[in-house]
Structure 1
Amino acid sequence: MITLSNALSIVRIPLALLFFWQNIYIRIIAIVLAMFTDSIDGYFARKYKSASKFGAYLDPAMDKFFVYFVLAILLLENHILLWQAFAMISRDF
């Protein structure tokens, strides 16, 4: 079931896709919005008593998707080095 909190998690997919545009302002807005949606999705899940097991898996999965996608784009554009991307990814393991 798509709840407000789950929708806020899912919206990180199109936010990550904004990184295809090589515009620093669009990218900054995407990062800020991703951080904002990540910070409020849990609040809404608790407030509206819509917390679920699905949401408990969805939120961290969308966090990882956003970070990994952005790192991949930055790596392909040579804005970061491979070891830097691995360093960021290694924090999840």
Structure 2
Amino acid sequence: MNLANKITVARIMLIPFFFLFLQTYPAWLTEHIHTFGFINTYGLYIATAIFIVAAATDKLDGYIARKYNMITNIGKLLDPLADKLLISVALIMLVQKHMLPSWVAFIIIAREIIITALRIVASSKKIALAADHYGKLKLVLQVVAIVAVLLDNYPFQFVVDIRIDYIIMLAAVVITIYSGYNYIRNNYIQLELNR
């Protein structure tokens, strides 16, 4: 396994830690095990840092793979999977913590399932469907929006009374929908020609 793939695997391995630090643990547990009390107090900040590090490694592994010619089939499979897992877990946790409406998570996760299904169909026909720049923009906006929501609109709350984190998340939802539509539209003809 090359360095780029190891970084991708490390990103996947950070997801359970993100999940554990974002949990709220019950009082009976925090009274007996002080570690859980620490997590209840500081876990959100640690989880946010883990999420930022995990999201940043997406650019790093891609850069290393391209620069040092380390692009592999396993990397092509694991890299988008790592992104989808990280974003999906983050959205589900934000919904569980009542920091985000469930419809936002539903739209973003549903888009990923639909596009993944389309890629599987294409792959079965030996067709490679390339990601476009809207897909990359979508991921960047999703990461920024999730971080903003995790930080509960900090530091924007000191500047304006508007929930900037929700505006960024709404922009992420819009570009998510558009990028999905654009991806299906651009690749539909290619799939039809290869029926």
TM-score (norm 2): 0.43
Aligned to 1:19: 19
- For structure 1, list consecutive stretches of 5 or more residues without a partner in the other structure: none
Specify which of 62, 66, 73 is matched with residue 82 of structure 2.
62
- Which structure has the larger Rg? 2
The number of equivalent residue pairs is 92
The answer to whether the aligner puts 1:29 opposite 2:49 as a matched pair is yes
Residue identity matched to 1:60: P
SS in 2 for 1:11: helix
Counterparts of 2:92 and 2:75, CA distance in 1: 25
The answer to whether the aligner puts 1:44 opposite 2:59 as a matched pair is no
Residue identity matched to 2:14: L
Aligned to 1:82: 102
- In the TM superposition, what is the alpha-carbon distance from 1:27 to its structure 2 partner? 1.9
State percent identity of aligned pairs: 34
- For structure 2, list consecutive stretches of 5 or more residues without a partner in the other structure: 23-42, 115-195
Residue identity matched to 2:82: M
Residue identity matched to 1:12: R
Residue identity matched to 1:28: T
Counterparts of 2:4 and 2:59, CA distance in 1: 10
- In the TM superposition, what is the alpha-carbon distance from 1:86 to its structure 2 partner? 1.0
By relative contact order (CA 8 Å, sep 6+), the higher-ranking structure is: 1
- The C-alpha deviation readout for 1:54-93, integer Å capped at 9, x for no partner, is 1111100010011111122222222222111112224423
Counterparts of 1:82 and 1:52, CA distance in 2: 36
SS in 1 for 2:71: coil
SS in 2 for 1:80: coil
Superposition RMSD in Å: 1.6
